Structure 1
């Protein structure tokens, strides 16, 4: 039997060897073993390609401000596994993780459950135990066949859909939209962000099949968006809001969260919405780590483009440098074409990660498009180069992956307090 936190996490992460199994068959079996905790709390289900984590966190913060006890399930984490499962912003404890894993370990082996199936079960079991009023649930991958789709939520939310994970979800944008729209349940309202026409058609078709009412964000009500180096302010429906997140895309996440909360409970007061949004802390999203050094976990073509656009908007006359890292399987060719158009220097580093592309692979792709790619032997050396560049007037961006966060914080000697989210 697993007894320690470290050995529990080792056993848990070893389940990743079973890969990703799309479909709810194993999830249903596992949840039956723990008496279907998802039936004990109200939920809001959030899917999409970009912005779904931030939108989920914003919804959670507003609901907490309104006096509710709120669960939040997101993925992946930046530093600690516990970040994925929260109640009123506080992470699940090490002891709760150990207890749950020990309790269902035999079922995990019998059913051959995957890593994400188990973490989803852990989250929902914890929310039941904590007697949350509502849980905000971010999908892991896709939607239709994602483990989180075992819930029947009070509300579904779909953030912008674009190309990502094509090797799993399908090559076409319409394939991906079909998977995301799979979270729409019968008679459950759905809030939809701005989508391209092909995606919108599929969402509308699914909503009609499920007799679900579609609610739209009215972008005509969005005015006076102002960005600076620490946050963004805007007016929506003639009311002013501020968020400590940088970028027009974060404003779009915020107004999507506002509309979601309105549909969820129209009695929630304006001051709760403002308070929730003003106090959000969401690391790794255009996060200002040091003066003129930013970190963003954007990792697909559309997300990286938005991050670069934001940086150019905030610093219109500055030269940019970057430290790039990408997970294996990403479209390095298209991403390298994009980034070489903007950055004067792009640093990559050698690594032995099973998850990340090697420095040599990144350098090879970049060097075919620019002479400004630089391969170094460690993240620390890349960071030292960025520091030097910043002193010479550059703006630095670290981007491409969640999986380098811990090394980045260490290299910059930044403490990471996951409890503050």
Structure 2
């Protein structure tokens, strides 16, 4: 098979949450455990850091990976979803898995795919773990997909776990209260394995303390930090920094050789070291055009607050989302007096632009409609003044389709 044939095979056979939503979500680890046995238990052959949370888990994963790379460790990184290419999901020292490795893996385990019928996410997790084991990484940073307790990644036994901010996202699968969602995320806490809580929230801490106590897992509450980036970085990275540092300090106590300079170099160069994209990413300077994959109300509030400090004129907001979102609180977070450009992405889960516009009107927000994000950006560029700012956000899939990304 060619690489395109391989991806077509995966997409055609395997449910993919990012494309079809809840129908792809498997609420147990049976398939993953069967794949691990078929592959000779690769998840037991490398050390890891496991990360769950609502907001900040992706940036935390990339940042921790960048720090470990700066310290000289061969570092694997598994994140999802991808923006431009499937191979972004699986990296070692910032380099994507090769297309030939993807082809080889799928051909090798085709019998298992036919028999087990795993989800798209389950197969990519198996691919990542197999790759990290075969390439003998020193450590791999593993980001959960949804939740934690029943997430396909939750078969590893990490050096330390990290739970970032808990917010209201995927409530149809994870629960309707922060405590319920926290209990799903707390599923990554393992027996006697340290867990860092990156954001201290009164609704969620009792849950984490209860689970950690039951499992005799040392619980580390990340403190405040006065660290500030030397270049433009998302405010939510600053919010995640205490958790990131607490993870690094925990690794140091376990014997990992990491120094202060590695933290500084890793954080300041996270984009270059790990290939991180779509987090307050500046696409053009004059006028400033920023792309950010924030897609729930908590993340957007932080994003809009920061953008307000960067925008000297009018904010031109290019916004698209998916079908399974409660849009009212997101709309309420929109900066006042913004010019809105509704758009959609080319995935089945995308909320079509006409429906998005209708929901906008219901909530008192008017905007122009564009079937493609690049059309929306082009139109906004024709209307901006030098001090205006164009922000593209609302969905990973909308940002992924930006031609200049």
Q: Does structure 1 conserve the Cα–Cα contact (< 8 Å) formed by 2:292 and 2:399? A: no
Structure 1 pair 33/243, CA: closer, same or farther in 2 (3 Å)?
A: farther
Indicate the residue corresponding to 2:19 in structure 1: none
Q: Please, which of 386, 393, 396 is the counterpart of residue 399 of structure 1?
A: 393
Indicate the residue corresponding to 1:4 in structure 2: 2
1:213-362 equivalences in 2 (<5 Å): 213-219=218-224, 222-223=225-226, 234=228, 242=229, 244-266=231-253, 267-281=257-271, 282-291=276-285, 292-315=288-311, 317-339=312-334, 341-349=335-343, 353-362=347-356
Q: Does structure 1 conserve the Cα–Cα contact (< 8 Å) formed by 2:235 and 2:303? A: no
- Provide the alpha-carbon RMSD of the alignment: 1.7
Indicate the residue corresponding to 1:91 in structure 2: 96
Separation (CA, whole Å) in 1 of partners of 2:235 and 2:341? 27
Secondary structure of 1:109 counterpart = helix
Q: Does structure 1 conserve the Cα–Cα contact (< 8 Å) formed by 2:343 and 2:373? A: yes
Q: Does structure 2 conserve the Cα–Cα contact (< 8 Å) formed by 1:243 and 1:279? A: no
Indicate the residue corresponding to 1:230 in structure 2: none
Which ranges in structure 1 are unaligned for 5 or more consecutive residues?
224-232, 235-241, 417-421
Separation (CA, whole Å) in 1 of partners of 2:397 and 2:246? 32
Moved over 6 A (4+): none
Which ranges in structure 2 are unaligned for 5 or more consecutive residues?
17-22
Structure 1 pair 350/181, CA: closer, same or farther in 2 (3 Å)?
A: closer
Secondary structure of 1:121 counterpart = helix
Number of aligned residues = 389
Indicate the residue corresponding to 2:215 in structure 1: 210
The structure with more strand, counted as a fraction of residues? 1
Q: Please, which of 151, 165, 183 is the counterpart of residue 178 of structure 1?
A: 183
Q: Does structure 1 conserve the Cα–Cα contact (< 8 Å) formed by 2:345 and 2:401? A: no
Q: CA deviation at 1:252?
A: 2.1
Q: CA deviation at 1:349?
A: 2.8
Separation (CA, whole Å) in 2 of partners of 1:380 and 1:53? 25
Secondary structure of 2:133 counterpart = helix
Q: Does structure 2 conserve the Cα–Cα contact (< 8 Å) formed by 1:155 and 1:264? A: yes
Secondary structure of 1:41 counterpart = coil
Secondary structure of 1:157 counterpart = strand
CA displacement, residues 190-248 of structure 1 (integer Å, 9 cap, x when unaligned): 111123211111011111011111112221xx33xxxxxxxxx62xxxxxxx3545233
Separation (CA, whole Å) in 2 of partners of 1:50 and 1:350? 22
CA displacement, residues 353-394 of structure 1 (integer Å, 9 cap, x when unaligned): 312100011100112233531113432331122212333532
**TM-score computed with the length of structure 2 as normaliser:** 0.92
Q: CA deviation at 1:116?
A: 0.6
| Residue 145 (structure 1) aligned with residue 163 (structure 2) | no
| Residue 387 (structure 1) aligned with residue 381 (structure 2) | yes
Secondary structure of 1:326 counterpart = coil
Structure 1 pair 244/110, CA: closer, same or farther in 2 (3 Å)?
A: farther
Separation (CA, whole Å) in 1 of partners of 2:368 and 2:85? 30
**TM-score computed with the length of structure 1 as normaliser:** 0.89
